[in-house]
Amino acid sequence: MSHRLSIDIIVPRERPRRWHELMIERLAAQGHDIAVLHDAKAKPWPTQVSALLALERAALRKRKTALSAPVDGMWQTHRCRSPALRLDLAGTAIPVGVPTLALSFDGTACDLSAAAAVATGRLPTLEAILDGKTVVGRAFPMVDRRETTSLGLDDVLARAVTLLASVVQALAEGRLTPLGTPAPADEKVDFTRAYFSRSLPRFGREAWRRACFLHAHWRVGYRFHDGPGVAATGQLGTGWRVLPDSGDRFYADPFPFHWQGRAYLFVEDYVHAIGKAVISVTSFDGERQTQTPRVVLEEPHHLSYPQVFARDEAVWMLPEASAGGRLVLYRALDFPDRWTPETVLLEGEISDATLLEHDGKLWLFATHRDGFGSTSDTLVVFSAPALTGPWRPHALNPILIDRRRARPGGAFIRDAAGRLLLPVQDGTLGYGEGLGLSELLVLDDTEISLSEPRAIRTDGDWPYPRIHTLNRCGALEVIDGIVAVPRWPASRRAS
């Protein structure tokens, strides 16, 4: 089948929404031949729903157009020949003998049900359904700001676009795979009632929390442990020490590294007053106590996830720099204090890129924001013959859309049985709320498969169980955990 399809995209005639427009733009950019048709039967969203979401965005001072916002001027176009595919974004299209792809939000065809789900605090499941009977794509979007319905809904609708674009491309390339039958519809929820009874109180609680506490404050834990680690036991266990911080900054994303007989620990070093992180390093004395971390790498944008490794007779660092819009590889000039950019590996909002050497090739597992929505739910994979590239996207990208296992939370681990395990962040309860381990089952140029994550139990003496990073190098094992830190200086000093 040709990689270019003729597609009729069906949208509501009255008040179509920005995500419909984005969907059209995305498929046109992929090279498909697009025609836009109006469906007069599709009911527009109630005026009060759009008004409440707009008021919320105004209160949050969000000027960018919401993906749920109605748009004007989405003109109808026509084609002279029959389409190869119809994409029903209105959810009400009548079958006409042409393959039809539609989207389901928790079992219903109306995107208003996604708004109601987010208002209640639920995370909707998205399904791409072919001809009303076969699921051919599924997504579990992450919602970064669960306390706000409008921003949370943006995250869901952004992944609706990602899911449909990937399914259309799979169809065009002849590799669409049936996943089962559609899920039954959830109980219908009244949006307005859910918004006032659930969403507004949740927003108020979060506003109070942010007024009293720092938005996020992480602490790094470390231990020297010769026995089986967290990946082997599935639980944190005991023996953890805290890397001290001053309270006005935090340390997170720990990566240990041994060099010339000495252990080093690289961390994200975030200063609250600046709102940006640098990369710092600490080492250990004879009593295995840490020194105060010192800055070794700073850029105009935020840096984190400092993956450090030795290869090709050099020491390298691959930190996350999604705020800068590119993934840059750094080489140590004078380890560990001086680093220089070697090359740009990838362009785009790439988060927590994690390196793996497998079957004679290098691979990067990461998340990609895809222009809109969360940075934590869309897994992409790249491969290259050498560290400096060229790095090429996998044919199946995006590999999955899943808040439970898309975003890496540390380097790959090879266990005693030879299995490759990837620490993955679980965003079901929010960013940084948990960590699991997924086994890499298949990895080659045509297929990638990761197991369902096995949650890491937080039993033990680590006092901050909401973790999102796990790494180990030799006997040095490291984690991090989020902690509530009051905004008032005196209280912070006492914490």
What is the band of 489 on the pLDDT scale with cuts at 50, 70, 90?
low
228 preceded by a cis bond (ω within 30 of 0): no
138 has which bridge partners?
127
Q: What is the pLDDT of residue 2?
A: 55
Neighbours of 118 (CB within 10 A): 30
- Provide the terminal-to-terminal Cα distance of the chain, rounded to the nearest Å: 63
Hey, is 114 helix, strand or coil? helix
Look at residues 219, 268, 276 and name the one whose alpha carbon lies nearest to residue 484.
219
Q: Give ranges for CATH 2.115.10.20 in the chain.
A: 214-494
- In sequence order, what E strands does 199-275 have? 218-224, 235-237, 241-242, 249-259, 262-271
Provide, rounded to the nearest whole percent, the portion of the chain with pLDDT above 90.
82
Cα distance between residue 18 and residue 70, in whole Å? 6
What is the band of 75 on the pLDDT scale with cuts at 50, 70, 90?
confident
Tokens 């013959």 sit on residue:
385
Q: Concatenate the DSSP letters of all residues of 223-239 into one string.
A: EE--S--HHHHSEEES-
Tally of residues, the chain:
495
Any idea what DSSP says for residue 197? I
Q: Token digits for 250?
A: 């935090």
336 preceded by a cis bond (ω within 30 of 0): yes
pTM over 0.85: yes
Provide, rounded to the nearest whole percent, the portion of the chain with pLDDT above 70.
98
Name residue 97's amino acid.
G
Instruction: Write the CA distances from 377 to 59, 268, 408, integer angstroms.
Output: 27, 21, 10
Cα distance between residue 174 and residue 220, in whole Å? 47
Q: Token digits for 453?
A: 């994550």
Q: Considering just the CA atoms, what is the radius of gyration of the chain in Å?
A: 24
Neighbouring C-alpha atoms within 13 Å toward the C-beta of 340: 4
Contact indicator for 424, 444 with CB cutoff of 8 Å: no
Tokens 């506490």 sit on residue:
213
Instruction: Write the CA distances from 57 to 60, 62, 153, 200, integer angstroms.
Output: 5, 5, 12, 13
Cα distance between residue 484 and residue 495, in whole Å? 9
Neighbours of 44 (CB within 10 A): 15
Any idea what the Cα angle at residue 475 is, between residues 457 and 245, rounded to 5°? 70
Look at residues 306, 326, 310 and name the one whose alpha carbon lies nearest to residue 318.
306
Average confidence (pLDDT) over 97-112:
93
pLDDT at 434 over 90: yes
Q: Do the bridges between strand 276-283 and strand 6-12 make them parallel or antiparallel, or are there none, so unpaired?
A: unpaired
Ordered alpha helix ranges (H), 348-451:
none
Average confidence (pLDDT) over 283-302:
90
Any idea what the Cα angle at residue 46 is, between residues 43 and 48, rounded to 5°? 170
Segment 180-189, tens digit of pLDDT:
999 888 878 8
Segment 335-381, tens digit of pLDDT:
999 999 999 999 999 999 999 999 999 999 999 999 999 999 999 99
Q: Give ranges for CATH 3.40.50.170 in the chain.
A: 6-210
Cα distance between residue 109 and residue 90, in whole Å? 8
Contact indicator for 163, 196 with CB cutoff of 8 Å: no
**What phi, psi does 310 have (nearest 5°)?**
-105, 135
User: Worst-scoring range by mean pLDDT, 161-165, 201-205, 345-349, 420-424?
Assistant: 201-205
Any idea what the Cα angle at residue 128 is, between residues 122 and 129, rounded to 5°? 120
What is the band of 213 on the pLDDT scale with cuts at 50, 70, 90?
confident
Segment 254-284, tens digit of pLDDT:
999 999 989 999 999 999 999 999 999 999 9
Neighbours of 447 (CB within 10 A): 12
Contact indicator for 297, 319 with CB cutoff of 8 Å: yes
Cα distance between residue 104 and residue 124, in whole Å? 10
Contact indicator for 49, 115 with CB cutoff of 8 Å: yes
Q: Concatenate the DSSP letters of all residues of 341-364 into one string.
A: EEEEEEES-EEEEEEEEETTEEEE
Hey, is 449 helix, strand or coil? strand
Exposure string over 275-310, b if 16+ CB within 10 A, otherwise e: eebbbbbbebeeeeebeebeebbebeebbbbbbbbe
pLDDT at 138 over 70: yes
CATH number of 214-494: 2.115.10.20
pLDDT at 168 over 80: yes
Cα distance between residue 189 and residue 77, in whole Å? 35
For domain 6-210, the question of CATH label 3.40.50.170 is answered with yes
